[in-house]
Structure 1
């Protein structure tokens, strides 16, 4: 089956980064009173990409090996409690809050999605006024719970938090090395066995028929708490599934081919995300794998996009 387009909706262009920029630059180098929840991830020879690509057009193949430094990683994606701590300390206002809306999955819209605006070709994504990190389904939905991943965050929001916390977003090779947990060139943080809809659900993805029926066989029909599911060999939770994670790098295809150059030109300005989300399924978007990757405009926000922070030095 041909791989369909990815499930990351992009905000319409027009209010670019210069319009949206607020206090992020002022936070750079300013470490807040952030309560880290870290584990060490060893350095050494790390692999970027895979010798067994499943979506070659995304640039998963042609593995490279480089030496990287050891890092301290947050065990889970940044939680609502952690992000709330940041906002209380700094007064930061996220991109979604400044725009006044964000993308919510159609079946999660309180009262139903009828009458809301959708994304052409990705009609399950609906523009919901007032949706943001503290009300992820919109103002008529329940407030975000502390243990859940902070979502509806753009790349600028993620980098602002990371700077305040004294950390940064990871590079792609660092992310893949950490996700593999010492297992080598495997598809997933636990190995090569594919999740299914029946009896093997080691991560939070979709089960059933996308986009109309999620059976919730893994226990969740939306995002799960950041420390749910078993950790990998380095003690990291949910490196695949649950929420996409922003990285420090632009999105580009690692190839010198004419096709890759054309795709890179079209993707200029997009930032790299890793890990997939609770909306991924093998039949639709098989990007909940370590080598899988996608890109999005830095001001795009949605209910399945968050981030994770890494630190170059151990906690003091």
Structure 2
């Protein structure tokens, strides 16, 4: 028997695949390679190129690889772009999840770990976000993730699906030099690309009500995140009690200015970030508690900020050298 990882050739997904392999659990990946890369997968990984919008292919994959559960990571993940492409976002994230759940029901696959997002909270008015913090998503992306959680919960009532959803914030770092963050919108790739091109990285706003005036966020190492997904899957396999939702948060957060200082220290490239205007709707601080996940999913921050930057920089330079 095996677990299927949708979007498993992506930056996060390929780390989840490696985490499963490290625990001796068979995995099959379904990915359309729209943002993932086949080269990110360990050699020998069972792979099916396809989309979660193709229910027939999903059902055949479940049968062929004797799939017992799904880690659902596939989707359109760009919150800012989703405002300009709402229909595309909903088709990928909502229609895709419906199609996946229908295929699971048809083939008796009864376990799911859903990769949700802290975007479901929007701009919270609390210092520390918990799973009970009101959900007020402010983009089609955040809305689609919340709808995904609803769909999964409703399907659980209807069919007995065992599930959990993991909400998290900014994922950084690398667990292997072969995999790096390819997003054109995330902070680390933007900063590294600027430095490699001889440009000065920029900070969007330095007048927020935070200790150094820049945004504060959770930054989580991708390998730590991947481990939590696999522990959740193992918990579902064992039949142990599991919460419907967990936040994977640091509990403290890191500011953008602190990130910039760490990048300068790690890369040895001295720079003073430029200051750009604030981005509309960008909250001053979003930090989540990971206490519930620590209790059930072995969640903890195993990597320091310097280690996050070092691993990400190593992987990015390795990619540049290819």
- Shared fold (TM-score, shorter chain, > 0.5): no
Name the TM-score, length of structure 2 as normaliser.
Answer: 0.27
Name the TM-score, length of structure 1 as normaliser.
Answer: 0.27
Tell me which structure has the larger Cα radius of gyration. Answer: 2
| Structure with greater helix share of residues | 2
